[in-house]
């Protein structure tokens, strides 16, 4: 198992425990804060609300988006707290992965009845259309 897969498994386990213990209904920022803290306690390097600069077609945008969680600089976790995920949520994660040229991201929705129904693995199988600039 790769380090990335171990990290993803750790993030999923932490997310599952939070959802099991607290259930749905809290703000997205609460779940994000708790998940970041649990991952950091487990030894992961976690950047929360990480500003990402992007460049496209020669145009630079400072803080083009903010990654909810960037773990060990290789795994993006997008946190939601909504009744149901929409298809655009997975596409959002894929766009982030392409912009950062990362292979894997997790979409975690804490708003559903079960954690499993709100968990999506998103894989980037394409080259980045743009890239981070710092």
Question: Residue 22 has which token pair?
Answer: 């607290």
For residues 69 and 79, the answer to whether their CB atoms sit within 8 Å is: yes
Distances (CA, A) of 41 to 18, 60, 71, 107: 14, 35, 13, 21
| Statement: residue 20 has pLDDT above 70 | yes
- pTM score of the predicted model: 0.90
What is the pLDDT at residue 127?
A: 52
Q: What percent of the chain has pLDDT over 90?
A: 90
88: pLDDT confidence band, cut at 50, 70 and 90? Answer: very high
The length of the chain in residues reads 134
Residue 64 bridge partners (DSSP): none
What is the arithmetic mean of pLDDT over 84-108? 95
**DSSP code at position 129:** S
């Amino acid at each position: 198992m790769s380090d990335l897969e171990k990290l993803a498994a750790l993030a999923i386990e932490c997310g599952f425990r939070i959802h099991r213990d607290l259930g749905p209904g809290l703000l997205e920022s609460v779940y994000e804060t708790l998940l970041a803290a649990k991952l950091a306690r487990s030894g992961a390097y976690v950047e929360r609300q990480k500003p990402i600069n992007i460049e496209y077609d020669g145009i630079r945008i400072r803080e083009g988006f903010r990654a909810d969680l960037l773990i060990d600089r290789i795994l993006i976790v997008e946190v939601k707290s909504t009744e149901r995920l929409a298809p655009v949520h997975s596409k959002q994660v894929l766009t982030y992965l392409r912009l950062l040229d990362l292979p894997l991201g997790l979409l975690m929705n804490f708003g559903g009845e079960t954690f499993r129904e709100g968990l999506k693995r998103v894989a980037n199988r394409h080259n980045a259309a743009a890239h981070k600039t710092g």
